[in-house]
Amino acid sequence: MISIRHLSKTFHNPDGSVVNVLKDVNCDIDKGEVISIIGPSGTGKSTLLRALNMLEPPTSGQILFDGQDITAKGYRLDALRRRMGMVFQSFNLFDHMTVIENIIYAPIRLLGISDADARAEAMTLLKKVGMSQKADVYPSSLSGGQKQRVAIARSLAMHPDVILFDEPTSALDPTMVGEVLSVIRQLASEGMTMLIVTHEMRFARDVSTRIFFMNEGIIYEDGSAEQIFEHPVRSATKAFVNRIQKLVYEIGSDEFDQLDMHSGINAFCIKYNIADKAAQAISIADDMIQNHMASVRPLTFRLTYTELTSETALDFMVEGMTESPFAAGKFPDAIRAQAKDIIQEPTTRGFRIKILI
Amino acid sequence: MIAGIILLAISCSCSGNKQKSIELNSEADLSGLTLSTAVGNYYEHKFSKRSDVKVFAAATQADALQAIRQGLADVFVADDIEVPERTLKDLGLKVAFYGEDLFEVAYCVKKGNTELAGQFNTFLASIPVQDIIEHWTKDGPQVPDPNAGQIKNTQPLRCAVCANLDPVCYVGEGGEWMGLTPDLLTRFANYLGRPIEIMLQDLGGALTAVQTGQVDMVGGNIFITEERKTFVDFTDSYYLCHPVFVVADHGKRAHIGIGERFRMNLIKENRWKLITDGFVETIKITVLAILIGTILGMGVCAALRSRRRWVRSAAGLYGSFIQGTPTLVLLLIMFYVVFASSGLSASSVAIITFAFSFASSAGNIFNSSISTVPVGQTEAGLSLGFTPFKTFTGIVLPQALRHGLPLYAGDCVKLLQSTSIVGYIAIQDLTRASDLIRSRTFDALIPLLIITIIYFVLAWLIRKLLNLLLIRK
């Protein structure tokens, strides 16, 4: 359905510097594919998506849509865009229209559908995204997640052949990410062709038929979800999909700022969508630092989160020690009862206790 | 609230007579007194040099006369011909003494226009000037004009008059020009067989207009001076003039009721017609300037949003030039410099000037209103399949309007108010109508009150109308 050939995009900044965001992108996208585009920030994921419907015209290269070159001069972009929906990070609902007016505005004007038919269909779509109660309110009274679901319904109302999702959950409160992702999941199961730029690794792995890992302005690795996440070929891909998010505290003396650590753990858990684990992490960290390992100083405490496996762990590292600070490796029962697993092992730098929660 | 202001104003204008009893016999006796006269005339110039006399320079001669009644000044000075016996009697004033200066009064023509000056001098020698002067100043019998009614269809004689006071030059019943100056000019036009056009201008403006050729002659008790001779030519003098010093005459002031004041200012001599004519003129200039200025403003807005840097800079420069120049100065530049020899009417020049000025501010309002609509709205419209034009008109513009409309309406009202300066280029708008009435009735309150209410209602109407036109929900 879509073929991209040698696509490049160069930005000229006002300060005179030149950035080659896309260098040489090549790929073919077939009908029914659900493709997640992942990769470090600044590698051109969104630019590629925006080039596909010419919101960001490429510097060179070709994009063929059903065999036609849409980058050619004189190509009817409005006709193309009717067949290619787009969902934005910032929703971009029309603030001066109610929810239902947002949805029916384009179909009435561009597809020639009657007002009554457009409304009936809009209600069906709103029901599908769980927003039928809010048909007559203005977007300003909706939460971010609700706005994004309306935006998806608006895009569906044009019956597009493909929908482009540009980081659809990045602007959302962590508590609202789920509702939007489940709507996209549902669309995927119905066979909608979609390209999704996302940072949600678990979601990407679950929903995609194919993953583009973008790096250095090209599609660095392209393969099935299993291939990219379980058996990546290239080292940069491997490093990215297995990356671990960390929060580190060095505890030198008892005057260490405990409250600062509490709020740090809270923020970390919210950021990585594991808010439900924050209270437990704080309680274990406090117990370990103040009671069970009170005599061990200096102590390095790390909270880690592996996105792909969604593994959360508390790490306590004692520099220069080769044995467990606990007699005969016997771990306090109170902690053991709360943990999924406890690993005690010597490392090159010292002794490590890893508590998985 | 309005009623309250009216009552307050009326009660203020009725009180406050604090004239002192003064015995004056010569200019030397003026020491320590306040002297009122019209701004920019010979007397202001002369007495400003005397450190012991305070000069109150009023906008018009009528205002300067009124200053004596209001206690703002002790003595009024003007040309003797400007204050006939009947005016003094009506206002409860009296002549203190006549000055010793003697001036020759004449008409001005463009420097080098000896043909017109010569024709006038020949004409002047052929008429009973003294009888005509007596008619206007001392209610002498009407002097018939043998050439009346012979106007041919030729180029009109365009005249500027720079006095607005009975009997020199004033607006009479039905709005036509009366007084000695217009009378002589009309007789001269009849003598030449040409129609006549008379417009009221201040002296400086009128002398500029005759130099640029916008008018053929200037009159209104203009003295022949050596300085003026360097840039205009004079006709022969038709009158020798002394200064007259006027003071309050106690016990001779008739009290006039408020009903009578309204009658005098509106009904007598059909003066309401001046107001309605001025109203039409003000509306005409305001509405046309808004329409043209709005279209130009869209151009300014497009230029400000242009991709080309030089176009943006040009639009910015235009804006800072317009906004950095007082509208009155701009109007004078347009009338006396840019369009001086174009033959455009003063109204047209005013409309163009206000349209240019409005275009700048409207363009900025449009631009900033569009900027308040996030770029994501445009992207959403485009991505649904609308053309850039339909995205702009259907999605961006309605949101921009909500933001910009109150500002736009405010600017329209500001434009309406600033049209009150068009009197400077001899247009008889609403404000000038009140000046004309005031100079006849010597009553400031009623005419000003009426036009204030009219401006207020107009401003309210503009806002209402724009809301109705542009906001559908």
**B471/A contact by beta carbon, under 8 A:** no
ipTM score above 0.90:
no
Span B330-354, average pLDDT: 90
pLDDT of B1: 55
Span B12-16, average pLDDT: 47
- Report the C-alpha gap between A104 and A110 in whole angstroms: 10
Q: Apex CA B28: angle with CA B26 and CA B34, to 5°?
A: 95
Pick from A83, A86, A96, A159 the residue to mutate for testing the B interface (most B CBs within 10 Å): A96
Pick from B383, B397, B399, B402 the residue to mutate for testing the A interface (most A CBs within 10 Å): B383
pLDDT of A250: 87
pLDDT of B3: 58
Using an 8 Å CB-CB cutoff, list residues of chain A that contact chain B: 53, 55, 77-86, 88, 90-96, 105-106, 109-110, 154-155, 158
Q: Residue A294 to residues A216, A251, A345: CA-CA distances in angstroms?
A: 47, 10, 20
Minimum-distance CB partner of A110 among B376, B386, B402? B386
pLDDT at B96 over 70: yes
pLDDT at A254 over 80: no
pLDDT of B8: 55
Nearest CA distance, A97 vs chain B (angstrom): 10
Going by C-alpha positions, the residue among B379, B351, B23, B218 that lies closest to residue A166 is B379
pLDDT digits (tens, 9 = 90+) for B413-458: 999 999 999 988 888 899 988 888 888 787 878 889 999 999 999 9
Task: Sort residue B199 into left (φ over 0), alpha (ψ -120 to 50) or beta.
Answer: beta
CB B181 within 8 A of CB B188: no
Contacts across the A-B interface (CB distance below 8 Å): 62
pLDDT of B252: 53
B350 or B251, higher pLDDT = B350
Confidence at B473, pLDDT banded by 50, 70, 90: very low
Q: What are the tokens at B270?
A: 């059909």
pLDDT at B253 over 60: no
pLDDT of B428: 86
pLDDT digits (tens, 9 = 90+) for A176-197: 888 999 999 999 999 999 999 9
Using the structure block, give the residue that is written with the tokens 């009644």: B69
pLDDT at B28 over 50: yes
**Partners of A62 in the beta sheet?**
A5
Q: What are the tokens at B249?
A: 């005459």
Pairing between β-strand A210-215 and β-strand A34-38 as defined by DSSP bridges = parallel
Minimum-distance CB partner of A106 among B374, B377, B384? B384
pLDDT at A269 over 80: yes
Span B212-234, average pLDDT: 90
Nearest CA distance, A94 vs chain B (angstrom): 7
pLDDT of B301: 93
Pick from A49, A94, A154, A158 the residue to mutate for testing the B interface (most B CBs within 10 Å): A94
CB B373 within 8 A of CB B392: no
Chain A residue with minimum CA distance to B375? A92
Residues of A with Cβ-Cβ distance to B384 under 8 angstroms: 81-82, 85, 105-106, 110, 154-155, 158
B119's CB contacts (< 8 A; 6+ apart) are B188, B192
CB A304 within 8 A of CB A313: yes
pLDDT at B23 over 80: no
B120's CB contacts (< 8 A; 6+ apart) are B107, B109, B188, B217, B235, B236
Average pLDDT, chain B: 87
Span B205-224, average pLDDT: 89
Chain B residue with minimum CA distance to A155? B384
Q: Apex CA B358: angle with CA B355 and CA B360, to 5°?
A: 115
pLDDT digits (tens, 9 = 90+) for A235-244: 888 888 888 8
CB A214 within 8 A of CB A26: no
HEC letters along chain B: CHHHHHHHHHHHHHCCCCCCCCCCCCHHHHCCCEEEEECCCHHHHHHHCCCCCEEEEECCHHHHHHHHHCCCCCEEEEEHHHCCHHHHHHHCEEEEEECCCCEEEEEEEECCCHHHHHHHHHHHHCCCHHHHHHHHHHCCCCCCCCCCCCCCCCCCEEEEECCCECCCEEECHHHCEECHHHHHHHHHHHHHCCCEEEEECCHHHHHHHHHHCCCCEEEEEEECCHHHHCCEEECCCCEEECEEEEEECCCCCCCCCHHHHHHHHHHHHHCHHHHHHHHHHHHHHHHHHHHHHHHHHHHHHHHHCCCCHHHHHHHHHHHHHHHHCCHHHHHHHHHHHHCCCCCCCHHHHHHHHHHHHHHHHHHHHHHHHHHHCCHHHHHHHHHHCCCHHHHHHHHHHHHHHHHHHHHHHHHHHHHHHHHHHHHHHCCCCHHHHHHHHHHHHCCCHHHHHHHHHHHHHHHHHHHHHHHHHHCCC
CB atoms within 10 A of CB B125: 9
Residues of A with Cβ-Cβ distance to B386 under 8 angstroms: 78, 106, 109-110
pLDDT of B14: 47
Going by C-alpha positions, the residue among A136, A134, A196 that lies closest to residue A165 is A196
Minimum-distance CB partner of B385 among A78, A94, A95? A78
pLDDT at B20 over 80: no
Percent of chain A scoring above 90 in pLDDT: 51
Average pLDDT, chain A: 89
pLDDT of B69: 80
Span B13-27, average pLDDT: 61
Confidence at A329, pLDDT banded by 50, 70, 90: low
**Partners of B246 in the beta sheet?**
B76, B95
pLDDT of B10: 54
pLDDT at B42 over 60: yes
pLDDT digits (tens, 9 = 90+) for B186-214: 999 999 888 999 988 888 888 888 998 88
Determine which of A87-91, A206-210, A349-353 has the lowest per-residue pLDDT on average: A349-353
pLDDT of B5: 57
- Report the C-alpha gap between A235 and A227 in whole angstroms: 13
Residues B384, A95: C-beta atoms closer than 8 Å:
no
Percent of chain A scoring above 70 in pLDDT: 99
Torsion angles phi and psi, residue A139, rounded to 5: -55, -30
CB A164 within 8 A of CB A83: no
Rg (CA), chain A: 25
Torsion angles phi and psi, residue B429, rounded to 5: -90, -165
